[in-house]
Amino acid sequence: MKLLRYGPAGAEKPGILDDQGRVRDLSAHVADIAGDALTPAGLARLAALNPAELPLVEGAPQAELRLGPCVGNVRKFIAIGLNYADHAAESGMAVPSEPVVFNKWTSCITGPDDEVRIPKNSVKTDWEVELGVVIGAPASGVSKADAMAHVAGYCVVNDVSEREWQLERTATWDKGKGFDTFGPIGPWMVTADEIADPGNLAMWLEVDGKRYQDGSTATMVFGVAELVSYCSTFMTLLPGDIITTGTPPGVGMGQKPPVFLRGGEVMRLGIEGLGQQTQKVGRA
């Protein structure tokens, strides 16, 4: 299933994409694509529905019809740094011996095609296409062998990053990662049963038509199961929590010379089987 949320920002309704690429309304069956709806039992109830019998929503998704963040009421937005060896190299950092974990504040979450706003006085705003993992069943201290049973599905994430605040302002990376609009997710969450191997998905990102990132989740240092297990050792992962799993090379700060967003650009990015995002870059 491809589950989504559509409508004006802050008033999104739950929906599902049918086999013709049209949005069908799920409001009569679930309050939101969030929480209990993402548990194994919740997803089973939605999977039993026939999309063709659900109300059709007018407008082409991501054209006439705005799509919001594909998951609502996200309680934890967890990010993994330096999880691609070639990205670590372009960043001038060592490949970590265990996952680097930081936070993206949930207030940064936006729809897949909403405007990304460069923070006031920023000169080093950057892009990162990433695979997002959506938690379904609660996970606390789960083994790597059992971890995948706790995954509801996957989505595209643009881990927008302000590099000065991330790397030059001391202490944690969190400060550069959670500015408003720095977390586009979607266009939809694809349930785990439809993604045979999340560790072998092509991914890409373009700015104004120039392809900067062209990679694959196959080069992740730590795979999905290991990341879910690792994070669950020091926090309880809850339905709707998102882990964004790192980015391949091609980010702006890795260019020679570095290239950063200034405003007015258009970013396009996507992951095989998970859809695409398009964001115009503005300024706060």
The proportion of the chain whose per-residue pLDDT surpasses 90, expressed as a percent, equals: 93
Q: Which residue has the tokens 């260019």?
A: 255
Give the C-alpha separation, 173 to 167, whole Å: 7
**pLDDT number for residue 170:** 76
User: Does the pLDDT at position 88 exceed 90?
Assistant: no
**pLDDT number for residue 85:** 81
Write phi, then psi, for 194 (nearest 5 degrees).
Answer: -95, -5
Specify the 3-state DSSP secondary structure of 175: helix
**pLDDT number for residue 239:** 98
pLDDT tens digits along 92-111: 778 889 999 999 999 999 99
129-135 and 125-126 as β-strands: parallel, antiparallel, unpaired?
Answer: unpaired
What lies within 8 Å, CB to CB, of 7 at 6+ separation is 13, 66, 68
242-244 and 77-81 as β-strands: parallel, antiparallel, unpaired?
Answer: parallel
What lies within 8 Å, CB to CB, of 122 at 6+ separation is 162, 164, 165
For the segment 15-39, the average pLDDT, to the nearest whole number, is 98
Q: Where are the alpha helices (DSSP H) in the chain?
A: 40-47, 85-90, 163-167, 224-232
CATH 3.90.850.10 corresponds to the domain 72-283:
yes
By CB neighbour count within 10 A (0-12 exposed, 13-18 middle, 19+ buried), where does 174 fall?
Answer: middle
Q: Which amino acid is at 67?
A: L
- Gap between the terminal Cα atoms of the chain: 36
* Residue 86 pLDDT grade (very low, low, confident, very high; cuts 50, 70, 90): confident
The four Cα atoms 214, 181, 240, 51 give a dihedral, to 10 degrees, of -80
Cα–chain center distance at 137: 18
Give the C-alpha separation, 225 to 154, whole Å: 13
For the segment 186-213, the average pLDDT, to the nearest whole number, is 98
Q: Residue ranges per domain, the chain?
A: 72-283
Comparing 172 with 44, the larger pLDDT belongs to 44
Comparing 62 with 89, the larger pLDDT belongs to 62
Whether this model's pTM surpasses 0.85 = yes
For the segment 4-18, the average pLDDT, to the nearest whole number, is 98
pLDDT tens digits along 107-149: 999 999 999 999 999 999 999 999 999 999 999 999 999 999 9
Q: Where are the alpha helices (DSSP H) in 60-203?
A: 85-90, 163-167
What lies within 8 Å, CB to CB, of 234 at 6+ separation is none
266-271 and 100-103 as β-strands: parallel, antiparallel, unpaired?
Answer: unpaired
Q: Which amino acid is at 57?
A: V
